[in-house]
Amino acid sequence: MSPVLADSGHWFGALGAATIFTLAAVPLVLGARKRRRRTRWMEEGLPSEDQQLLAERVWFYHLAPDEVRRDFDRVLRVFLEEKRFEACGGLDEVTREMQLVIGAQACLLVFGRARSMGAKALAPYDKLASILIYPSTFVARREGVWDEDDQGDVLLGESWSTGSLILAWDSVERGLENRHDGHNVVMHEFAHQLDQSDVADGVPELSSSEQARRWAAAFAPAYRRLLDAVEDGRRSVLDEYGATNPAEFFAVATETFFEKPRQLQEDEPELYEQLKRYYHLDPLGWPRVREQ
């Protein structure tokens, strides 16, 4: 082999090794940058005008002690910085109020873990890039899903595993106005995001095989009881939409857990206990709930 070819092989080999090293280092560099940004945002928290708006519009923020609010502000700040909010369907703009009230309810679902894990508790939302806000109920046109007049499905919200979540603002408003009816479209759709972090089957990512066993032991019979109640025309603390499939059951159970905790604990104590363990929160311990 000529010296030129030998030298070329040497340099190409060195270049290949350098390229592999660089590619391997990219995720580390990006991860370090993400951690630095999150640390800065968490140190800054939320400005006072945001805190005031949350206290006026979001009931659980108003009830929280100051130290809990500070922790919550840090997690919410990261969420708001990392997610894109987009106006759709004739909505003029996405206001700061919209961002705050949607983000606060989304972050409530992970806040129990965030108090020990910090911003890492937001990991189930990592795939979520955009929150699309319509002014009112919207029509979803899906392949193979059409109604008889070919208009599509009228929806209050929808969660996709491909990076988007859709909400109707008038439905978000209704959830804020009545927090005891068991219906909260933000919690419902973000519960789907938690479920979709692995497979959308009504079983979010759990911490251990033992927790998974207890989850199944509580959820499977509760789901069956709801199916039976719907079939027999009996009322249940859980909305009948939860009988659609296990994924919808988890989302409906989440709404009920936060909005009707006393009734859920009385009617489905094992289900309540597993949701309490999963969310690391107990709504029955919150001041206004204890008073009722």
- The DSSP-derived string for 131-185 is EEEESS-EEE-BTTB--TTS--EEESEEE-TTSEEEEEHHHHHHHHH-TTSS--H
Give the residues across from 131 on adjacent strands.
85, 165
Identify the pLDDT of residue 200: 82
Tens of pLDDT along 199-209?
A: 789 999 998 99
Q: In the numeric block, which tokens belong to residue 241? A: 């939409």
Strands (E), 48-141: 84-87, 130-134, 138-140
Is the pLDDT assigned to residue 188 strictly greater than 80? yes
CB burial class (10 A; 0-12, 13-18, 19+) of residue 55?
middle
Measured between alpha carbons, how far is 144 from 249 in angstroms, rounded to an integer? 23
Q: Where are the domains of the chain?
A: 35-197, 198-292
Q: Given the structure tokens 């933000």, which residue do they identify?
A: 186
Res 157: pLDDT: 53
Looking at residue 289, what is its pLDDT? Answer: 43
Give the closest residue to 226 by CA, choosing from 250, 207, 192, 257.
250
Q: Which residues are CB-contacts of 113 (< 8 A; sequence separation ≥ 6)?
A: 121, 280
Q: Specify burial of residue 136 (Cβ count, 10 A radius: 0-12, 13-18, 19+).
A: middle
**How confident is the model over 147-171, as pLDDT tens digits?**
333 344 444 556 556 689 999 999 9
The phi and psi torsions of 280 (rounded to 5 degrees) equal 55, 35
Which residue type does 254 have?
T
Cβ 64 vs Cβ 83: under 8 Å: no
∠ CA 62-66-69, nearest 5°, is 65
Q: Out of 3.90.1150.10, 3.90.79.10, 1.10.472.150, 3.40.50.620, which CATH number does the structure's domain 35-197 have?
A: 1.10.472.150
DSSP code for 263? H
Is 4 a residue whose pLDDT tops 50?
no
Q: Which of 34-43, 79-88, 152-161, 212-221 has the lowest mean pLDDT?
A: 152-161
The answer, yes or no, to whether residue 111 has pLDDT greater than 70, is yes
Mean pLDDT across the chain: 85
Q: What's the CATH code, domain 198-292? A: 3.40.390.10
Indicate the Cα dihedral angle 13, 17, 23, 29, nearest 10°. Answer: -140
Asked if 168 contacts 136 with a C-beta cutoff of 8 angstroms, the reply is yes
Whether the pLDDT of residue 121 is over 80: the answer is yes
Render pLDDT for 239-268 as a digit per residue (tens, 0 to 9).
999 999 999 999 999 999 999 999 999 999
